Amino acid sequence: MKILIIGSGPAGYTAAIYLGRSGHQPIIIEGLQPGGQLTTTTLVENYPGFPDGIDATQLMDNMRQQAINCGAQIVPNTVVETDLSRQPYTITLDDGQKFTTPVLIIATGATAKYLGLHEEQKYKGLGVSACATCDGFFYRKKIVAVVGGGDTACEEATYLAGLANKVYLIVRKSYLRASHAMQQRVFDNPKIDILFETNVTSLYGNEALEGLKLIHRKGEPDQSTSELAVDGLFLAIGHQPNSELFRPWLQTDEQGYIITQGITPLTNLPGIFAAGDVADPTYRQAINAAASGCRAAIEAERYLQSCI
């Protein structure tokens, strides 16, 4: 039976590997960014099985090839419309091609929010990152800045303080939005300096990032500007789950993450499973995404069995 998987990150590929091996013909709609978010980083050192780390693009190419070897068909296209009002569900691609399927695995991931400064793209992978767990290791004994005042920013600043010599936490408001416990960890850490009421206006550097231009108390009578030399800039201003196409039919939380039942990938619709970051506001790690892709494949298989 053909099963449609939307998304080509670790969740989508893992689901395809499992479904292919159990005799189905998974079709992966690859999307705009084949390989998913991981392809925006360089070396992956926290994915088990690679003692010396592995190039992120290589890791995703390996997963893709493994899915193909297990029988997956890859469709290099993007979904532009869905009709999940009835089974079989209908998916429309941007070339007008339509697929119908009784079983759908949604693994469309999430997108880190960036500030919108054009230099962010220039220094991506050369000092700018949106994942401290992925890239923090490259900033051992260096100076880094984290932008954001929520739990993610505090968690990332604390994590980076374990590696870097100095961490600046750049917060646009005069207070942190993070939970009390998380704030306390930041306040108690002597390596972290908090710059409240501060925004980043631009980034500078030659080949790689060398520093930030900042504005303090923007719009106030005592507004001022400064420069801050840093080796790394980590954005922690939230993620956007890629769930827009499904929101008319699937239950999502207030941030748009697809709600699944407990640790299962089951959504509120029969035969539709969500895996990876699109349903994970908390952990957002490739290994978790892969594991949830496995769970989605197993549940899809069980669902098909129950329909016979």
Point out which residues bind ligand NDP (CB under 6 A). 115, 147-153, 155, 172-173, 177, 237-238, 281-282
* Of residues 113 and 122, the one with the C-beta less far from ligand NDP: 113
Q: Report the interhelical angle of 180-188 vs 151-161 (nearest 10°).
A: 30
Residue 294 is among the residues annotated as catalytic for this protein? no
Catalytic residue among 61, 95, 134, 154: 134
93-112 burial string, b = 16+ CB within 10 Å, else e? Answer: beeeeebebbbbbbbbbbbb
* Of residues 142 and 177, the one with the C-beta less far from ligand NDP: 177
Rama region for 51: left / alpha / beta (φ>0; ψ in -120 to 50; rest): alpha
CA atoms of 70 and 293, how far apart (whole Å) = 15
Minimum CB distance to ligand NDP, residue 122 (Å): 18
3-state secondary structure of 108: coil
Q: In the complex, which residue's CB is closest to ligand NDP?
A: 150
CA atoms of 210 and 229, how far apart (whole Å) = 6
Catalytic residue among 52, 55, 131, 231: 131
Minimum CB distance to ligand NDP, residue 238 (Å): 4
* Of residues 30 and 155, the one with the C-beta less far from ligand NDP: 155
Residue 55 is among the residues annotated as catalytic for this protein? no
Catalytic residue among 55, 61, 83, 135: 135
CA atoms of 272 and 296, how far apart (whole Å) = 9
Residue 151 is among the residues annotated as catalytic for this protein? no
* Of residues 200 and 245, the one with the C-beta less far from ligand NDP: 200
Minimum CB distance to ligand NDP, residue 191 (Å): 19
Cβ-contact 215, 197 below 8 angstroms: no
Q: What is the CA radius of gyration of the chain?
A: 21
Minimum CB distance to ligand NDP, residue 274 (Å): 17
Catalytic residues: 131, 134-135
